[in-house]
Amino acid sequence: MINFTKMHGLGNDFVVMNNIDGDISLSIDEIRKLSDRRFGIGFDQLLMVESAISKEADFRYVIFNADGSEVSQCGNGARCFALYIQKKNLSYKNTLTVETNAGVLNLNINTDDSVTVNMGIPNFEPSKIPLNFENESSEYLVEELKVGSLSIGNPHAVVIQDEIKDIEQAASKIQSSDAFPEGVNVGFMQIINREEIKLRVVERGVGETLACGSGACAAVIYGIKRGHLDSKVIVHLNGGDAVVEFDGDRVFLTGPGEFVYEGSVNLRSGSS
């Protein structure tokens, strides 16, 4: 039996497992079965708490999408990760340093139990996103759609709309395009004013989620680069609100994380 905790960040839901001892090893097929909302537990991402490799970090943060693919970044998950560590008494620090495949994240647990994640420095270089364009630009034409694109440890495309609608077809076209060889998360942003946006995100390997933390960061950065937004923005997602701050160098994401329930699962029988 494997113990797990179900959590969510603004409706973006996760299963968190303590794998500090390294005794949990799940196949792609097993992750897919667990993610199934009818026959499994159901989640957007699976988060593993593991021992850090370097002495400078407190933990290692490992993320798997519902389709079993491993990804490097998840801002909403990072907030849940920090609160899980605190609740399970795995650390008594209010500021945690965690390793990811995209580099090191700093997670600060605030007095109101919200968490601020230092998401690091965004990358706009096409080869690093990765994006199949030779030259860096503030905007690209992909499948006849104007998109901004950048990486925050994972690839993002952002589309500005006067009113967010018909996103499934547009997201499918962008995600299946040769422009993004490793797939892409697609955000659809409606600008309300210079300090407020609405956002819906279709994530690679998951589909549309109620919230996407790195997607919120990507949208705000793109809006700032285009001159539409100020440096601190409230992002209204379907699952609730997050705050993104971008100082021109690093980007910070602040929002809640919630515990839903705890359980155990027997992978051999599929029961939980």
Q: Which residues are catalytic?
A: 74, 212
Q: How far is CA 69 from CA 46, 61, 129, 227, 236, in A?
A: 10, 15, 17, 35, 28
* Residues 46/64, Cβ–Cβ less than 8 Å: yes
Measured distance CA(185)–CA(179) in Å, rounded: 13
First vs last Cα of the chain: how many Å apart?
9
What the block records as the tokens of 12 is: 């973006």
Q: What are phi and psi of 180, to 5 degrees?
A: -120, 90
Q: Which residue has the tokens 């079993």?
A: 68
Closest to 81 (Cα-Cα) out of 53, 112, 111, 58: 58
Closest to 183 (Cα-Cα) out of 210, 167, 204: 204
104-113 LR contacts (CB < 8 Å, sep 24+): 104/56, 104/57, 105/61, 105/78, 107/78, 107/79, 107/81, 107/82, 109/82, 109/83, 110/254, 113/83, 113/256, 113/257
All residues at 6 or more sequence positions from 1 whose CB lies less than 8 Å from its CB, including other chains: 264, 265, 266
Q: Which residue has the tokens 């199949």?
A: 132
Q: How far is CA 243 from CA 61, 151, 236, in A?
A: 22, 19, 9
